[in-house]
Amino acid sequence: MSKKGRVFSGARPTGRQHLGNYLGAIKNYVALQENYECVYCIVDVHALTTMETTQDLVQNTYDMTVDWLAAGIRPEESIVFVQSHVPQVMELHTYLSMVTPLGKLTDLPTFKEKVRDHPDNINYGLVGYPVLMTADIVLYKSDVVPVGVDQAPHLEFAREIVRSFNYRYGTKVLKEPQMKNTEIPKVLGIDGVQKMGKSLNNHIELAATPDETRQRVMQMVTDPQRAKRTDPGNPEICNVFSMHKIFSPAEEVQMIDTECRRAGIGCVDCKKRFAANLNANLEPFRAKRAEIASNENYVWDVLHEGGKRARAIAEETMSEVRAAIQLPK
Ligand code: SF4
């Protein structure tokens, strides 16, 4: 079947992935492979903008790749690689930075947010982050980029940079990427309040053992207004119920919805059921993960091979870019 075009997406190397990563990105990455030629990049250079130490960078890159592959990303079709393995992206970033107004970069809400989060490390790389992101996207002549509503302005900005470049050099060499609006669910952590994330330690790792998973699930905060077992609960405001809707069979979800509201089921029992269903769902992933992780060389081979394929596309684009700028040969 012919594909609809090329998709690009990048993610920082955050190590072992959690349910939030899976539901928010990986699941979609896997699905996109059906209709698109996919380019998935582990953006280690982006990560350096806010990283205090790089000692876990290699391990985190490896662990994240293992999880991606175990979840169903197929490296024989999709290009899976590490950003720094394609130095052309740094070159393109420099050229694009010449057509990007500084004031626009420092005005972006994401930059202001980063300044708030990292007041002691407001570096040049942080300011140019959206330019490097644009270079990532256009270097691979991507047609579409999957983004959630909140990231839409970033892609619009990338499109502006592309237009400025093409206008400045009187060329059409860079392709304006299209937005592929994607429903990205906000997955709450076990605290039931904040977005699931490693830094908040409110996450459930995909690769955790069934026992570890059960323990994390049993710590999940439920309907905060349900103080006693005999109180009726409200599934609509309960994070455990939101997760049941994703991982449990429809009849069980229906039963919990009804029984919770009339105190027919307790939260402990409800969480045990969720843990069992989650573990059953994750079983094939864990089996595949164990198989992949038993061959470390294979994982690095995937990334190196992906890098080779990515560099081939990148070099083609860069020859056109250099010619468009009229750089001396
Ligand atoms: Fe949430 Fe289940 Fe407890 Fe209801 S019974 S409040 S859905 S954990």
- What are 268-298's pLDDT values in tens digits? 999 999 999 999 999 999 999 999 999 999 9
Ligand 1 atom, smallest distance to 270 CA: 2
pLDDT per residue over 59-103, tens digit each?
999 999 999 999 999 999 999 999 999 999 999 999 999 999 999
The set of protein residues with a Cβ atom below 6 angstroms from ligand 1 is 222-223, 226, 233, 235, 238, 240-241, 256, 260, 265, 267, 270-271
196 in any annotated domain: no
Ligand 1 atom, smallest distance to 220 CA: 8
Residue with more model confidence, 149 or 287:
287
198 in any annotated domain: no
Could you tell me if 49 and 126 are in contact, meaning their C-beta atoms sit under 8 angstroms apart?
yes
* In a shared domain, residues 130 and 246: no
Closest residue by Cα to atom 3, ligand 1, is: 267
Across the range 101-119, mean pLDDT stands at 89
200 in any annotated domain: no
* In a shared domain, residues 265 and 318: no
Please count the structural domains in the chain.
Answer: 2
pLDDT of residue 109: 86
Range of 275's domain? 208-290
pTM for the full model? Answer: 0.94
CATH, residue 319: 3.40.50.620
- In the reported structure, the alpha carbon of residue 222 is separated from the centroid of ligand 1 by a whole-number distance in angstroms of 6
217, 218, 231, 240: which to mutate for ligand 1, most atoms within 8 A of CB? 240
- In the reported structure, the alpha carbon of residue 267 is separated from the centroid of ligand 1 by a whole-number distance in angstroms of 5
- In the reported structure, the alpha carbon of residue 226 is separated from the centroid of ligand 1 by a whole-number distance in angstroms of 9
- In the reported structure, the alpha carbon of residue 233 is separated from the centroid of ligand 1 by a whole-number distance in angstroms of 6
Residue 2 above 80 pLDDT?
no
Closest residue by Cα to atom 8, ligand 1, is: 267
pLDDT of residue 318: 98
- In the reported structure, the alpha carbon of residue 274 is separated from the centroid of ligand 1 by a whole-number distance in angstroms of 10
- In the reported structure, the alpha carbon of residue 22 is separated from the centroid of ligand 1 by a whole-number distance in angstroms of 23
* In a shared domain, residues 116 and 219: no
The Cβ of residue 110 has, within 10 Å, a number of other Cβ atoms equal to 16
* In a shared domain, residues 249 and 270: yes
Could you tell me if 206 and 16 are in contact, meaning their C-beta atoms sit under 8 angstroms apart?
yes
Ligand 1 atom, smallest distance to 235 CA: 7
With a CB cutoff of 8 Å and minimum separation 6, the contacts of 21 are: 11, 14, 67, 206
Q: What span, in angstroms and rounded, lies between the C-alpha atoms of 168 and 321? A: 12
- In the reported structure, the alpha carbon of residue 276 is separated from the centroid of ligand 1 by a whole-number distance in angstroms of 15
For residue 83, CA distances in Å to 4, 12, 130, 157 come to 24, 10, 15, 21
* In a shared domain, residues 102 and 223: no
* pLDDT band with cut points at 50, 70 and 90 for residue 316: very high
Q: What span, in angstroms and rounded, lies between the C-alpha atoms of 232 and 287? A: 39
Q: 96: closest CA among 47, 124, 136, 126?
A: 136
CATH, residue 240: 1.10.240.10
Q: End-to-end distance of the chain based on CA atoms, in angstroms?
A: 40
Closest residue by Cα to atom 4, ligand 1, is: 260
Q: Worst-scoring range by mean pLDDT, 108-112, 256-260, 276-280? A: 108-112
